[in-house]
């Protein structure tokens, strides 16, 4: 498996900014430079036949943004119906995607000393979508790999258009 740019960058940088969010009680982080917007409780239109990670599409000020449910991406149980979810909008190759998290917290400046490689024993989906673990004062922060999260389409087995 090729190393993603984010993994490489994370290994080099002395410190970096992470937007922290929670998914089913876990504290996770996404590099701030990738984040374009954070929104609450948007109406999401379902997209039939889409990969299961795709929660739907939403209207971000006139742009259509595809929403991925981080719970599904990470193999966690779905959120309860009617609960407010947060949209973290990230950009990949000029295209915007919304990552649905349970809540969004503060932006943290994570020092490189606190960074740990992923433990060998980490389970499948987490291992696949995480870049590193950061030791915070009283908890652990899992840094997510946005490129890996957004790679859902390329794993799809559906027929190719054109």
d(CA 56, CA 43): 9
d(CA 39, CA 159): 33
Please report whether residue 14 would count as binding another protein according to CB under 8 A.
no
Please report whether residue 127 would count as binding another protein according to CB under 8 A.
no
Please report whether residue 81 would count as binding another protein according to CB under 8 A.
no
Angle, CA 81 vertex, CA 41 and CA 141 arms, to 5°: 65
Give the interface segment with another protein, choosing from 11-19, 20-28, 58-66, 110-118 (CB under 8 A). 58-66
How many chain residues touch another protein (CB under 8 A)?
Answer: 31
By beta-carbon proximity to another protein, the closer residue of 84 and 154 is 154
Q: Which of 28, 159, 2, 161 is nearest to 90 (CA)?
A: 28
User: Which pair of tokens denotes residue 73?
Assistant: 């991406």
Please pick, from the candidates 25, 52, 62, 77, the single residue that binds another protein as defined by CB under 8 A: 62
Please pick, from the candidates 80, 93, 138, 139, the single residue that binds another protein as defined by CB under 8 A: 93
- Least distance to another protein, CB of residue 67, Å: 10
Please report whether residue 57 would count as binding another protein according to CB under 8 A.
yes
By beta-carbon proximity to another protein, the closer residue of 119 and 153 is 153
By beta-carbon proximity to another protein, the closer residue of 52 and 124 is 52
Please report whether residue 150 would count as binding another protein according to CB under 8 A.
yes
**Chain contacts with another protein (rule: CB under 8 A):** 43, 45-51, 54, 56-59, 61-64, 66, 93-95, 97, 150, 152-154, 156, 158-161
């Amino acid at each position: 498996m090729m190393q993603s740019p984010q993994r490489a960058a994370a290994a080099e940088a002395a410190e970096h900014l992470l937007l922290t969010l929670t998914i089913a009680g876990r504290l996770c982080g996404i590099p701030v430079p990738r984040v374009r917007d954070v929104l609450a409780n948007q109406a999401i239109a379902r997209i039939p036949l889409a990969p299961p990670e795709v929660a739907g599409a939403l209207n971000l000020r006139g742009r259509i943004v595809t929403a991925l449910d981080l719970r599904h991406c990470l193999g966690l149980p779905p959120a309860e119906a009617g609960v407010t979810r947060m949209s973290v909008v990230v950009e990949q190759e000029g295209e915007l995607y919304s990552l649905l998290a349970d809540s969004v917290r503060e932006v943290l400046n994570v020092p490189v000393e606190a960074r740990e490689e992923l433990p060998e024993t980490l389970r499948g989906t987490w291992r696949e979508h995480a870049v590193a673990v950061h030791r915070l004062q009283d908890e652990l922060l899992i840094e997510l790999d946005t490129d890996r999260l957004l790679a859902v389409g390329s794993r799809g087995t559906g027929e190719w258009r054109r």
